[in-house]
Chain A
Amino acid sequence: ETGVTQTPRHLVMGMTNKKSLKCEQHLGHNAMYWYKQSAKKPLELMFVYNFKEQTENNSVPSRFSPECPNSSHLFLHLHTLQPEDSALYLCASSRDPTDTQYFGPGTRLTVL
C-alpha cells in the first residue's frame, strides 16, 4: 500500500545532529498527524494538522518541530534529541480529524 509514505524508514542519529522525517499522503486527505510509539507502549499523539494549520500540540518538547507546507506533506524536524526519544514515529492522515486514519509504515529512530 502506498497511500501514506514515510522516509527514512530507519534513522540513527547523535544527540547533536539535526534531521528531518518526511511524510506524504496520496489519499486527498485534509488532516495529518505525527505519533510517537516507544517500545511496548501505546501510541502518543504529538501533532495534528488540519488544512495545513496546526490544531494540536500535545505538550511536545521544542526539539521536535513540525512543518506542514501543504495538505499532502508533513515534516518533523529533529534537533538535539535525547536517547529517550528513540521510538517509532508514525505519520497518519484522514479526511477529517474524526474520520478513519491511515498510517504510514513509520520511521524507526535511534538516538545515540
Chain B
Amino acid sequence: RKEVEQDPGPFNVPEGATVAFNCTYSNSASQSFFWYRQDCRKEPKLLMSVYSSGNEDGRFTAQLNRASQYISLLIRDSKLSDSATYLCVVDDYNQGGKLIFGQGTELSVKP
C-alpha cells in the first residue's frame, strides 16, 4: 500500500460544480495533514491544514477520518482559477519525521 494515495484524476468539471478529492494514508500514527495546491510549472503552495474536527476556508472544506485513515477536500462553486493539481500531504510520524506528498489529483474547471 502506498504511504499516501490519492484519486488518480484528472477531474474535469464545469464552473460552479462541487468537486471532492479523496486521500488515504497508511501510517496510523500520522499527526499532521495538509492539502497543497500546485499550478502548472510552479511550486506547491499550502492550501490548508487539516484538523481532526474538520475545517473550512471559504469554498474549501477539509475533513479527516482517523479511523479510516482518510482525508478529503471539498471545493464548492468551482472557479476557473481552481484548476491545478491538489496534493495530499501526511507526516510519517515515527518513521524519520518528514512529510509524505501524494501523487496529486489534477483538476480542470471549464467554462
- Which A residues lie at the B interface, using CB under 8 A? 33, 42-43, 45, 48, 50, 55-56, 88, 90, 94, 96-106, 108
- Which B residues lie at the A interface, using CB under 8 A? 31-32, 34, 41-46, 49, 87, 91, 93, 96-99, 101-104
A-B contact pairs, 30 of them (CB 8 A): A42-B103, A42-B104, A43-B87, A45-B101, A48-B98, A55-B96, A55-B98, A56-B96, A56-B98, A90-B43, A94-B99, A97-B96, A97-B97, A97-B98, A97-B99, A98-B31, A98-B32, A98-B97, A98-B98, A98-B99, A99-B32, A100-B46, A100-B49, A101-B46, A102-B46, A103-B43, A105-B42, A105-B43, A106-B43, A108-B41
Complex alpha-carbon distance, A22 and B21, angstroms: 35
In-complex Cβ contact of A98 among B43, B93, B103, B104 (8 A)? B93
Residues of A within 8 A of B45 (CB): 103
Complex alpha-carbon distance, A94 and B44, angstroms: 14
B98 close to A45 (CB less than 8 A): yes
User: Which secondary structure dominates chain B's binding surface?
Assistant: loop
Tell me how far the C-beta of A68 lies from the nearest C-beta in chain B, rounded to whole angstroms. Answer: 15
A-B CB proximity, top 8 nearest = A103-B43, A42-B103, A98-B91, A97-B97, A43-B101, A97-B98, A98-B32, A106-B43
Given contacts A56-B96, A97-B91, A98-B91, 8 further A-B contacts (CB under 8 A): A42-B104, A43-B44, A50-B97, A55-B97, A56-B98, A90-B44, A97-B96, A104-B43
Residues of A within 8 A of B102 (CB): 42
Complex alpha-carbon distance, A99 and B99, angstroms: 8
Complex alpha-carbon distance, A104 and B103, angstroms: 19
Complex alpha-carbon distance, A43 and B85, angstroms: 12
B99 close to A101 (CB less than 8 A): yes
Complex alpha-carbon distance, A98 and B104, angstroms: 19
Residues of A within 8 A of B41 (CB): 88, 108
B44 close to A103 (CB less than 8 A): yes
Residues of B within 8 A of A99 (CB): 32
